[in-house]
Structure 1
């Protein structure tokens, strides 16, 4: 495990996951909501927003209170991955399975997409 500011990096034989932890609120054991980049050996990079079930519930309750998003009637994110437990270990286990099955390419957003206007695309 590495700490390459601002990322905490977990490197495994089939991927490297870079977690963007908030240094003021997140720890390796307690993080519940984190942006993550998964680098594969083929050179591709995939973005994920990882949430715990508890964090999704908290977000819905907050939005119900504030009246946002139809009073908290839904929660979504394009590249969302929901895990049952907090912490980098649980999140890494989920990423490991996504990479093993190839589902990382369905769940994540490819960051090195060459099409103009896409996340990570080169400007023309």
Structure 2
């Protein structure tokens, strides 16, 4: 399969220095293909789910940590640019990209 050309925006790259922990964090990612279509997913590290669950147990959110849900969630071992690019390429090549990422509404 011919690889599609795209650009990628990672929300965490816009955070202040030191705020992004690639091993314990989550970030939204927008992929824009050459045809102008835009797709979004939220990348969470496995460790970040544990951190969020522990926080929710303390704060009472999500029934005191009894569940966690995220829109368009994709779990990864690390959420570095390299890993995100690797996962996106894999999803495109396997034909799974459109099943996992959500297409953004076109804005006028």
For the 8 Å contact 2:24–2:46, the answer to whether it is kept is no
Q: Distance in 2 between matches of 1:62 and 1:105?
A: 32
- Greater fraction strand: 1
Q: What does residue 67 of structure 2 align with?
A: 74
Superposition deviation, residue 30 in structure 1: 5.6
**Relative contact order (C-alpha < 8 Å, sep 6+): which is higher?**
2
Give a deviation string over 1:70-116, Cα, whole Å, max 9, x none.
1111111121111012422112111111122232211111113xxxx
For the 8 Å contact 1:14–1:99, the answer to whether it is kept is no
For the 8 Å contact 1:15–1:99, the answer to whether it is kept is no
Within a 5 Å distance, the mapping from 1:83-98 to structure 2 comes to 83-98=76-91
Change (3 A) 1:59 1:105: same
1:37 is the counterpart of 2:30: yes
The root-mean-square deviation of aligned C-alpha atoms, in Å, is 2.2
- Greater fraction helix: 2
Change (3 A) 1:31 1:41: farther
Give a deviation string over 1:59-78, Cα, whole Å, max 9, x none.
11111111111111111112
| Structure 2, gaps ≥5 residues long | none
For the 8 Å contact 1:31–1:88, the answer to whether it is kept is no
TM-score for both structures, normalised by structure 1: 0.71
For the 8 Å contact 2:72–2:100, the answer to whether it is kept is yes
1:110 is the counterpart of 2:81: no
Runs (4+) off by over 3 Å: none
